[in-house]
Structure 1
Amino acid sequence: MAEDFKGIVDRYGRPIAKAALKVEQAAPTGSGVRRHDALHPAAGLTPGRLASILRASIDGDPENYLALAEDMEERDPHYAGVLGVRKRQVSGLDITVEAAGDDAASLEHAELVREVIERDGFEDELFDILDAVGKGFSCTEVIWDTSEGQWRPKRLAWRDPRWFVFDRIDGETPLLRDGGQDVPLNPYQWIYHSAKVKSGLPIRGGIARAVAWTFLFKSFTIKDWAIFCEAYGQPLRLGKYDAGASDKDKQILLDAVSNIGVDYAAIVPAAMAVEFIKADISGSHGLYKERADWLDQQVSKVVLGQTATTDAIAGGHAVGKTHDGVRE
């Protein structure tokens, strides 16, 4: 029979086996579900696909949604910037530990906590715990040091949120995906953090969910802007061929007019011709930038509660100082 801690039980009153805490419950594996293989649902994302991903996350399959949340941080510099500000604002705070009493045991316990939070890397571990701000939750595994018979946190290991699901009944209890089964997290081995921007289920409470549609619309805007910039000022290249031209000849002409704007040189058969038609572009060329900036401001409002500390707006320094108080 496994040795249990004396006088310590889990939230349900069950004894805790020491052996279970000496083994990493969610260590990465080379096969199975706990791999670091990258999913990139943001590639080619469409409104229909996004709606499907969001629905699936509520219905018990959050993997693609959590992968999308990761993609959003990597692909959108503004979102990554303001989200990083919010997390660093918390992880960089000074932590004060006060003993529960004046007795020797309370003072000893407080000193132990101070030693843990003063370790090198604790601020980074706290930053990882705050991954919940974007994704709605985070699960951090406590790796215990028992080398000399003591029980002391050695490090706090961030675990990929894609490795977890929620109980299908209450929608709130995190479960570890393990070989086709969903198993409960071992007591005293996990730090589970749920950070909500709205009330409701944890999987629906992260900032990424609120920003997902803005991210999609901005990606369309940036793509259109890039196409516009590439074509701006370039004349229309019109290729002409005789009625008797073969499909091969047509392809040769198409390749020539497609590449001439980049290579500034091309050769075509004498029977073919390339005509340049002057570009005549009208309208507001700043529409793309204005839309992208407006979408960025909406993201700033969701993440930081204000815009003046991240976006250049009228009012300058005074407005920025006022809005910075919202962040604090």
Structure 2
Amino acid sequence: MPTPVLLGPDGLPIDRTRLLQEQAAPSLTSVRQIATGHPAEGLTPQRLAALLKEAERGNAIAYLELAEQMEERDLHYLGVLGRRKRGVAQLEMTVEPASDDADDKAAAELIRTFLDRLELQGEVFDILDAIGKGFSVTEICWDTSEKQWMPKALKPREQRWFRYDLVDGVTLQMWDNAGYLPLAPYQFIVHEAKAKSGLPIRGGLARPVAWAYLFKNFDLKSWITFADVYGQPIRLGKWGPGASEKDKSALLKAVRNLAQDCAAIIPASMEVELIEAKTSGSVDLFEKLANFLDQQVSKAVLGNTGTTDAIAGGHAVGKVHQNASDDIVQSDARQVEVTLNRDLVKPIIDLNMGPRLRYPILRVVIKTKQDALQTAQALGVLVDRGLRVDQDDVRRLLGFNEPKPDAELLVPAKTSAAPPTPGATAPEADATAPVPDVGGNLAANARLPASPAVLDTDAIDGLVDEQTAQWQQLVAPMVQPIHDLLASCANMDEFLKRLPSVVQAQNTTALTEALARSLFAARLAGETEADLG
């Protein structure tokens, strides 16, 4: 098969040999070095505003370094951002062929081969770093050892080694010793996760969260300073007339030592006074402010606070907030789908099978959480009403697998018969069983085949069938007085007023005797294992 000719965005053929070389790897001799700045140290509102403006103008290095430090220094931001990224990274991925043609199915199978990798979850997690910083760049490291083009690794690259074009603000360029260069085609996965519309560099969550981080940092510093001296008395040193600078220095050292080891010596002419510390106002102001800022960060990252912060509202509020988080996961998953289909699926197919009009579609599978009990109850009602349901659909809905041929299967609690094995023939029909006529009624001289459940009944089942067959005549003496009362009353208030007297006069003799006989017979059957029929 001849090697297909691939054209880059500039219309020129792509140099395949260059694809086998890493283009954005760091090195000590290039501008792409792992050493980084730390703009979070000594950050002020003025400095934060300045570096955000610089990012808009094309120099986003300080902003991206700050975004990295925010994840390292703010544990709450690290937690909620990591949760959002893991929510998508752990999802299953499937591939849909473009059509039922053999060639399209082969293309889809090629992508499935690549997805069957243990490293994929971590690689997708790195791609989702765009959620915080606005964009992420992942370099595709190609391998041709198996006579086909297949990525052997997806390596994340530092965002500060790239910048957006100064003219349009949307075209990403790579920083190199020769300046900023266009990204090589089929070499990079560029994912842009937008928290808001506008320029991509302004679409990351780190930009709005940076202000909350700054104010929380001020709050924590004040809180720690307050905690360091909270409850300690004020040490007031007094010196007498004529004290020298040496005496004053010794006195200052003494009062300071009182806070460290509670021991100090001073001349007799000097005096140290301990003044009891008294606090006024609310001492939990620092904690309240920190919690408030954390909740704002939770809203920005997860869309709510109920799934991360302990707030009033209980389970109901948590369910509502969980739905909001699910919406965000779905949005992130769809954005990842677009990126991977454009920057990963297409290059793999083009390099191995040539360009085409239709490509297989990679899907990120989002499984809807189902309440197993509610689903089972609904299925029971619907199936009893005649709804035909595929067992495979039910297993997929509830997360059950198809049982293996030698699997130990669960059986209904009321039957001791083993479940029918696949391929087993049904019991032969009884020629004497009544069959329904055209109208659905039972014909007089025909009989239906007995079901397996009826054939496998015990003494207790027989008693239950006997009593349920005559329930109407047993309950009638109790129900009829209520019917009579209802017919004689003019309104509901009168009915409710007279109801207690009627209930007290109900005749329960027949029902009581029937229950007593049944309990006695059931006890006898259990003791003797006899058939009461």
| Rg comparison, structure with higher value | 2
1:56: Cα distance to partner? 1.0
Higher relative contact order (CA 8 A, sep 6+): 1
Relative to structure 1, the CA distance from residue 180 to residue 242 in structure 2 (aligned partners, 3 Å threshold; closer, same or farther) is farther
Q: In structure 2, what is the equivalent of residue 37 of structure 1? A: 35
1:256: Cα distance to partner? 3.4
- Report matched runs for 1:171-210 at 5 Å: 171-179=169-177, 181-210=179-208
Q: In structure 2, what is the equivalent of residue 278 of structure 1? A: 276
1:270: Cα distance to partner? 4.4
| Cα distance between partner residues in 2 of 1:251 and 1:15 | 80
Deviations 1:64-96 (A, max 9, x none): 100100111111111111111111111111111
Q: In structure 2, what is the equivalent of residue 111 of structure 1? A: 109
| Cα distance between partner residues in 1 of 2:46 and 2:111 | 49
Q: In structure 2, what is the equivalent of residue 58 of structure 1? A: 56
Task: Flag structure 2 segments of 5+ consecutive residues without an equivalent.
Answer: 327-533
- Report matched runs for 1:129-148 at 5 Å: 129-148=127-146
- Structure 1 residue aligned with 2:70, among 69, 72, 94? 72
- Report matched runs for 1:233-312 at 5 Å: 233-242=231-240, 244-312=242-310
| Cα distance between partner residues in 2 of 1:264 and 1:285 | 26
1:271: Cα distance to partner? 4.4
Relative to structure 1, the CA distance from residue 97 to residue 252 in structure 2 (aligned partners, 3 Å threshold; closer, same or farther) is farther
RMSD over equivalenced CA pairs, Å = 1.7
- Report matched runs for 1:87-102 at 5 Å: 87-102=85-100
Deviations 1:224-282 (A, max 9, x none): 11111111111112223345445454444334333431332234444443321110101
| Cα distance between partner residues in 2 of 1:300 and 1:256 | 48
| Cα distance between partner residues in 2 of 1:223 and 1:34 | 34
Q: Does 119-128 or 98-107 show the bigger shift? A: 98-107
Counterpart amino acid of residue 159 in structure 1: R
Q: Does 133-142 or 222-231 show the bigger shift? A: 222-231
| Cα distance between partner residues in 1 of 2:175 and 2:85 | 27
Task: Report the secondary structure of 2:112's partner residue.
Answer: helix
Q: Does 301-310 or 101-110 show the bigger shift? A: 101-110
Relative to structure 1, the CA distance from residue 17 to residue 40 in structure 2 (aligned partners, 3 Å threshold; closer, same or farther) is same
Relative to structure 1, the CA distance from residue 286 to residue 8 in structure 2 (aligned partners, 3 Å threshold; closer, same or farther) is same
Deviations 1:25-71 (A, max 9, x none): 01111244311113221111111111111111111211110010011
Counterpart amino acid of residue 129 in structure 1: I
Q: Is 1:213 matched up with 2:206?
A: no
Q: In structure 2, what is the equivalent of residue 157 of structure 1? A: 155
Could you tell me the TM-score, scaled by structure 2's length? 0.59
| Cα distance between partner residues in 2 of 1:104 and 1:92 | 31
Task: Report the secondary structure of 1:230's partner residue.
Answer: helix
Counterpart amino acid of residue 138 in structure 1: S
Task: Report the secondary structure of 2:106's partner residue.
Answer: helix
| Cα distance between partner residues in 1 of 2:314 and 2:60 | 41
Counterpart amino acid of residue 22 in structure 2: E
Counterpart amino acid of residue 151 in structure 2: P
Counterpart amino acid of residue 80 in structure 1: L
Task: Report the secondary structure of 2:226's partner residue.
Answer: helix
1:148: Cα distance to partner? 3.9
Task: Report the secondary structure of 1:238's partner residue.
Answer: strand
Q: In structure 2, what is the equivalent of residue 122 of structure 1? A: 120
Relative to structure 1, the CA distance from residue 106 to residue 271 in structure 2 (aligned partners, 3 Å threshold; closer, same or farther) is farther
| Cα distance between partner residues in 2 of 1:66 and 1:60 | 12
| Cα distance between partner residues in 2 of 1:111 and 1:245 | 91
Q: Does 279-288 or 26-35 show the bigger shift? A: 26-35
| Cα distance between partner residues in 1 of 2:61 and 2:200 | 14
Q: In structure 2, what is the equivalent of residue 317 of structure 1? A: 315
- Report matched runs for 1:7-46 at 5 Å: 7-46=5-44
Relative to structure 1, the CA distance from residue 186 to residue 270 in structure 2 (aligned partners, 3 Å threshold; closer, same or farther) is farther
1:106: Cα distance to partner? 1.6
Deviations 1:152-178 (A, max 9, x none): 100100011111111110111111111
Deviations 1:127-184 (A, max 9, x none): 0000000000000000111224421100100011111111110111111111251111
Deviations 1:79-132 (A, max 9, x none): 111111111111111111111122232222212211222211110000000000
Relative to structure 1, the CA distance from residue 16 to residue 75 in structure 2 (aligned partners, 3 Å threshold; closer, same or farther) is same
Relative to structure 1, the CA distance from residue 275 to residue 152 in structure 2 (aligned partners, 3 Å threshold; closer, same or farther) is same
Q: Percent of aligned pairs with the same residue? A: 55
Q: In structure 2, what is the equivalent of residue 169 of structure 1? A: 167
| Cα distance between partner residues in 1 of 2:264 and 2:201 | 55
Task: Flag structure 1 segments of 5+ consecutive residues without an equivalent.
Answer: none
Task: Report the secondary structure of 1:97's partner residue.
Answer: strand
Aligned residues: 324
Relative to structure 1, the CA distance from residue 235 to residue 137 in structure 2 (aligned partners, 3 Å threshold; closer, same or farther) is same
| Cα distance between partner residues in 1 of 2:147 and 2:129 | 33
| Cα distance between partner residues in 2 of 1:106 and 1:272 | 95
| Cα distance between partner residues in 2 of 1:147 and 1:250 | 80
